[in-house]
Chains A and B, each alone.
Chain A
């Protein structure tokens, strides 16, 4: 008989083996899916994981997609370490993109070096304010943040759609729901010429490092960790739970807002309805896959960025639907959560207990 048995001590090896195991299981399941669809599994995996990175442009695109994932994931890490289950990075991201666009269009006739920072700050403030809303609902009215942040995501999306169909719509855009192109002064500088890769990737890497330092070295980070692991101890030590909660939401919102701002001022150069292919949701997987650690998050962001590119590649090369990206991401998270159980538990094979003879 197999049984799950709680480990006396959590397994450190499993802590890091679990993401790798999840990846292997995802790949095996992926092969099964390719076969079920009547495609060659090896060819499918090659298109998904290897072909996108076969040249310089591929790598640049990888960095391009890592940037928003890193920024969102860094912010979410702050919340998740404090056990605040903020699912709203997508909404923060969209609000950041929306208000950064509004600012960029406002300054479209300006060319000073102050325009870009102002545009980015507008995005951060908008994202932070959107997150603060969920934070206040939690601290003041004890609203569950999972529900409020998900609902706020839809509100943010609809506000953005309203803007591109209404006030921010390009009057000369042949009726397409999109804004004017931004002026050059509102665009992020390129990191590598001839590619789309911009300095947003540096923001992302910096954010990952900053979050690492926050939790390793600062007292605020320590207080957030205590709040997450033991609310009663935090109250006993006198840590300000409400202020810490709001701070975590503001930081998460600000970083996701910056991601949104970087997206419209980087590769897009204008506001469009499909500004995010779900970066805010994918970032949740990045955080868990990356074990809430700086290095882990960078690696996980690279892998998840690759799933976006692999999905596109499969659409083109094998005529598979776009949903393949979501499928792989979902499988990965599913297997990760399953494998994580073995951090705390182990499987034990036990025989039925020896019967002691007799009855009174």
Chain B
């Protein structure tokens, strides 16, 4: 590996009101190196990236680029120097073609000759094994292909440092393999890559070196291939937190929830309609649904929670048809829901934890002929905080003042303490610190052991394989068969996530086309 230093950051400090996002960060990236930047949400990764890409100015510290000290004027300046960035949320115009999108970020002289540009796009994308038609419209591209557009855009500008922000979170396992091949080839040709992630296994597979951040500081640097994932996780979370849950398998009971031929047409132009979705859940089991975001997960959650009403017979709980029942009715029947958005749906940001307890737990004897029994609500909130280890100044703190993990523990606790028969949880550990994730997993398993059915919708495959008795995948509003986790390989799940599964009744698990 080349040893020339491409980028060197020294003592980077960036302060926001109430938090020091970067606190004396050191980072060096060598030429041709794939360097991982690891850390939990809120560790300061995004801030550091923005500093490198010139989006924000650090309060203190110095940046050295190819041996020269440097002040970045802005992203355009960074691009000019050869720093390219692929954001987690793509910045592409859906109504323009691939070539037009790329032309937009180029200097005028390069953008003008469209034919030459198209030839160059084809050349670059073929060279790196990322098939891409420059004349396709972006709205017809899959998420994986859109990511390729972003990467090709950086490569055409001859970037010598490519920053990728959690690039794999939107990809199926197969797409991840393709991406990694491209990245390795780039690295061989001398391009440096800064790879931001919190998926440790990927980092071990791909990266030459890793820098770990915690609470704005560098807590370690290592060669990820040589240390265990547990060691890296320790650097990320510190010594106090347990790293994972042990899940004992358990025999499920009677069928509790039955979803038959569920169709739901969403009115949201960016939503995904559900098509003839069928499944059944038994008491005392956790069933997982994997899938790339935006494939109908939210619509499924809304259909189950009652936020969206569907044909009455398509959902039955304990034999009672509830497709047309409103959320309050479903709650009375024992349905609890943990939505994907914690702030602004699962909890009201500007309200206290006390008020947020009342939000969904009002059925727990807190309301007496229209009057709120404040004592009971406060008591309920205190019990959640205590039982689920929610770290908060007090139960009167606003929901918005809690960290993501603590708020999620609170929401899970609020739903779990209502002793539901069915809990539907969407991405419960997304963006949550490892310690909280373990606590949340334990809560889900405890619910299962108490005889509840748990439907876990998640993008985190490790989480699904760890917790679920049965699982499948959702793609474009269709649901794959649900099979025992022990009989499911990650390759097959990957195919299912890409929509490659038989569309027959879910009981048939005979064949999946390879």
Find out whether the CB atom of A235 lies under 8 angstroms from the CB atom of B401.
Answer: no
In the complex, the answer to whether B339 meets A356 with C-beta atoms within 8 Å is no
Other 20 A-B pairs with CB < 8 A, given A8-B18, A237-B359: A5-B17, A6-B17, A8-B19, A218-B370, A218-B371, A219-B372, A222-B372, A226-B355, A229-B349, A229-B350, A230-B348, A233-B346, A233-B359, A235-B307, A236-B307, A236-B346, A237-B360, A356-B62, A358-B71, A360-B65
A359 cross-chain contacts in B, Cβ below 8 A = 68, 70-71
Q: A346 — nearest CB in chain B belongs to which residue?
A: B17
Q: Which residues of B contact A353 (CB under 8 A)?
A: 57, 59
Contact of A360 among B66, B346, B351 (CB under 8 A): B66
The size class of the interface chain A forms with chain B is: 20 to 34
- Shortest C-beta distance, B267 to chain A (Å), equals 13
Instruction: Please tell me which stretch of B184-192, B324-332, B460-468 contacts chain A, meaning at least 4 of its Cβ atoms lie within 8 angstroms of it.
Output: B324-332
Q: Is B81 an interface residue (CB 8 A)?
A: yes
Contact of A233 with B344 in the complex, beta carbons under 8 Å: yes
Chain B residues lying within 8 Å of A240, measured Cβ to Cβ, are 326
Contact A219 B17 (CB under 8 A): no
A142 at the interface (CB under 8 A from B): no
B: number of interface residues (CB 8 Å): 46
Q: If the complex has contacts A217-B371, A236-B307, are A226 and B359 also in contact, measured as CB distance less than 8 A?
A: yes
Contact A355 B345 (CB under 8 A): no
Contact status of A357 and B69, CB under 8 A, knowing A217-B374, A219-B367, A233-B359: yes
1/0 per position for A225-242, CB-CB distance to B under 8 A? 110011011011110100
Please encode chain B, from 354 to 386, with 1 for each CB lying within 8 Å of some chain A CB and 0 for all others: 010011101000010011101000000000000
Cα distance A193–B332 in the bound complex, in angstroms: 57
List of B residues within 8 angstroms of A5 by Cβ: 17
Give B367's nearest chain A residue, CB to CB: A219
Instruction: Collect the chain A residues with CB atoms within 8 Å of residue B330's CB.
Output: 238
Quick check: B348 and A358 within 8 Å, CB to CB?
Answer: no
CA distance A257 to B72 in the complex (A): 63
Q: How far is the CA of A6 from the CA of B19 in the complex (A)?
A: 13
In the complex, are the beta carbons of A7 and B17 less than 8 A apart? Answer: yes
Knowing A9-B401, A236-B305, say if A218 contacts B372 (CB, 8 Å). Answer: yes
Query: Which B residues are CB-close (under 8 A) to A151?
Result: none
**Interchain residue pairs with CB less than 8 A apart (20):** A5-B17, A6-B17, A217-B372, A219-B362, A219-B367, A219-B372, A222-B358, A225-B355, A230-B351, A233-B347, A233-B359, A236-B305, A236-B307, A237-B328, A238-B331, A356-B62, A358-B68, A359-B71, A360-B65, A360-B81
Cβ-neighbour of A230 out of B63, B329, B349, B362 (below 8 A): B349
- The residues of A that contact B346 with a CB separation of less than 8 Å are 233, 236
A220 at the binding interface (Cβ < 8 Å): yes
A238:B371 contact, CB within 8 angstroms: no
Which residues of the other chain, B, contact A357 by a CB distance below 8 angstroms?
69, 71
Find out whether the CB atom of A237 lies under 8 angstroms from the CB atom of B327. yes
Cβ of B254 under 8 Å from chain A: no
Are A354 and B60 neighbours in the complex by a CB distance under 8 Å?
yes
How far apart sit A358 and B346, CA to CA, in the bound complex (Å)?
Answer: 49
Q: Are A356 and B69 in contact (CB under 8 A)?
A: yes
Q: Which residue of B lies closest to A358 (CB)?
A: B69
Instruction: List A contacts of B307 (CB < 8 A).
Output: 235-236
B42-76 contact mask (Cβ, 8 Å, vs A): 1 or 0? 00000000000000010110110110111100000
| Partner among B57, B339, B370, B372 whose Cβ is within 8 Å of the Cβ of A236 | B339
Cβ-neighbour of B328 out of A218, A229, A238, A358 (below 8 A): A238
- In angstroms, Cα B59 to Cα A218, docked, is 49
Cβ-neighbour of A232 out of B57, B71, B345, B362 (below 8 A): B345
What B residues does A360 contact at CB under 8 A?
A: 65-66, 68, 70, 81
